[in-house]
Amino acid sequence: MPSTLVVGAGSAGCVLAARLSDDPAHTVLVLEAGTVWPGPADIPADLLDPGHLPVGPESAVLWRYAGNLVRGKLIGGSGAINGSYFVRPPAARFGDWNSDRWTFDALLPFFRDLETDLDHGTDPGHGTEGPIPVVRAADPTPFSADFAERCAAAGLREVADLNALDVTDGFGRVPLALSGNRRAGPGITHLYPVLDRPNLTVVGETTVTRLVMRGTRAVGVEWVRGHEYGRTDADRIVLCAGAVESAALLLRSGIGPERQLRALGIPVVRPAPVGTWCTDHPEIGIEFAGTDHGTSAVALEYVLEHGDLEFRPYTPMFTPGLRRVGVTLMRPTGSAELTLRRADPAVPAHIDQSGLVTSADRANLRSGVELACELFDLRFGPVDDHWLRANSGASQHLSGTCRMGPANDEQSVVDDLGRVHGIDGLSIVDLSVVPVPLPRGPQATVVTLAAAIAACYAV
């Protein structure tokens, strides 16, 4: 009987565990660091409210890192606390994933089968039977409506469906993963509905600290639960701990850049470029005064896609009393780096984003700020590098710390099924493995990839 230990019940972990446990002969154990409430009805109401991003200093459901980076620490992971924006990468901009297996066309059936698109379900490439409900704001706030009018007046194209197969640039209503007025995160859509399966066990409040290796085979994990320490062995371990923590677990277990591991006193099991490249969507925030903001249940109702830039007119829930437009670079040409500062699992990994935005990227962002100023009739001082830095923020979309690629590719850590090169019994299935900057927010892609890899594991 196959058995799999999944580390992390986040966006990818919920989907993977649900799909693998579809086979009653397959035993699946999930260890999650955050809370796993007994059922969806037990989840605190504010965590289900898409109008509330629980990312403030008081939030108890976060991993926190320097540079204001956060990740969700609860069932559903970051997908349980995010902005609900659920947009696929357009086929034409999907990028080369360094894999014959994963093209946009290969992932399309999984995108389709995951969703019930309540607005466009019967259109080509869409689904009406999937567990994730997708809707667009029916009654946008005055600010969002004003943004759309200004885009139209500037001659920009309106896009009816940003998840359409032939989507191109333009402005349109954001596809959102929502069930009525509640977040439809991966815990709700995938894991809770199957939690009573006898072959599936999900244990919360349990943080995996290290992999147990026998030579180059991963045979188990060490974990901590409150004051209790333990070890669990498994035939196969799949890390779904997200782009930061999956990489940190590899590094702490001796899989990573040799020099870094030696400096930290970690015995090297296998040299690998873990954390040496990663990416995000750098955002410049423009805030200005305005009246008649209205109220909204979600953070973002409209976006404008313009080349590699995405313009986000945030609804007032983000900046009460102010208007805020995010100008975001979706395909930066630089890269960030993730390293460990200590071998101690209690010390968070460090993410250095200083190399993410190159001078070409800054020029691109500057042109985006100029376009936003034209759209909103705004004028302010020179948009120089200093101004860009002072107004920059994080999209919280870190990806690519353990990139997929063939074994002979020096930059790759896993193969295209997430199996760690040179290590038996160990895979990664989460946003760590996506090897290119994603041209749209990552949520739709990460759950789709988990479903697609699960289908391959099941055969």
Ligand X SMILES: Cc1cc2nc3c(=O)[nH]c(=O)nc-3n(C[C@H](O)[C@H](O)[C@H](O)COP(=O)(O)OP(=O)(O)OC[C@H]3O[C@@H](n4cnc5c(N)ncnc54)[C@H](O)[C@@H]3O)c2cc1C
17/369 with CB nearer ligand X: 17
Which residue among 4, 6, 10, 213 contacts ligand X (CB under 6 A)? 10
Which residue among 431, 449, 451, 453 contacts ligand X (CB under 6 A)? 431
Structure tokens at 412: 């790759």
Which residue among 116, 141, 207, 427 contacts ligand X (CB under 6 A)? 207
CA distance 279 to 261: 22
Query: Considering CB under 6 A, how many residues would be counted as binding ligand X?
Result: 41
34/368 with CB nearer ligand X: 34
Nearest to 211 by CA among 424, 393, 366, 396: 424
Q: Least distance (Å) from ligand X to the CB of residue 306?
A: 18
Question: Angle at CA 333, nearest 5°, toward 331 and 339?
Answer: 100
Residue type, 79: G
Q: Does residue 240 belong to the site contacting ligand X (CB under 6 A)?
A: yes
397 as an active site residue: the answer is yes
Nearest to 441 by CA among 254, 163, 47, 103: 163
Q: Does residue 187 belong to the site contacting ligand X (CB under 6 A)?
A: no
Q: Does residue 70 belong to the site contacting ligand X (CB under 6 A)?
A: yes
CA distance 267 to 216: 12
Catalytic residue among 120, 190, 281, 397: 397
Q: Does residue 208 belong to the site contacting ligand X (CB under 6 A)?
A: yes
192/362 with CB nearer ligand X: 192
383/398 with CB nearer ligand X: 398
Give the burial class of 7: count Cβ atoms within 10 A of its Cβ; 0-12 exposed, 13-18 middle, 19 or more buried: buried
Question: Angle at CA 17, nearest 5°, toward 220 and 11?
Answer: 105
CA distance 7 to 367: 42
Q: Least distance (Å) from ligand X to the CB of residue 289?
A: 26
Residue whose beta carbon is closest to ligand X: 10
Q: Does residue 396 belong to the site contacting ligand X (CB under 6 A)?
A: yes
Q: Does residue 179 belong to the site contacting ligand X (CB under 6 A)?
A: no
Q: Does residue 404 belong to the site contacting ligand X (CB under 6 A)?
A: no
Q: Does residue 439 belong to the site contacting ligand X (CB under 6 A)?
A: no
Q: Least distance (Å) from ligand X to the CB of residue 363?
A: 26
* All residues at 6 or more sequence positions from 299 whose CB lies less than 8 Å from its CB, including other chains: 50, 51, 53, 83, 84, 85, 314, 315, 317, 318
Which residue among 53, 203, 224, 373 contacts ligand X (CB under 6 A)? 53
241/351 with CB nearer ligand X: 241
Nearest to 272 by CA among 425, 101, 419: 419
Which residue among 79, 131, 172, 368 contacts ligand X (CB under 6 A)? 79
Structure tokens at 11: 């966006």
Q: Which CA distances in Å does 440 have to 93, 271, 308, 332?
A: 9, 32, 9, 12
78/116 with CB nearer ligand X: 78
Q: Least distance (Å) from ligand X to the CB of residue 308?
A: 17
Residue type, 319: T
Q: Which CA distances in Å does 60 have to 35, 205, 225, 395, 409?
A: 10, 12, 16, 20, 40
Q: What is the DSSP string of 229-244?
A: EEEEE-SEEEE-SHHH
Which residue among 47, 81, 107, 151 contacts ligand X (CB under 6 A)? 81
Q: Which of residues 133-152 bind ligand X (CB under 6 A)?
A: none
Return residues touching ligand X (CB under 6 A). 7-13, 31-34, 53, 55, 70-73, 77-79, 81-85, 207-208, 240-243, 245, 249, 396-397, 430-431, 441-443, 446
Q: Give the active site residues.
A: 397
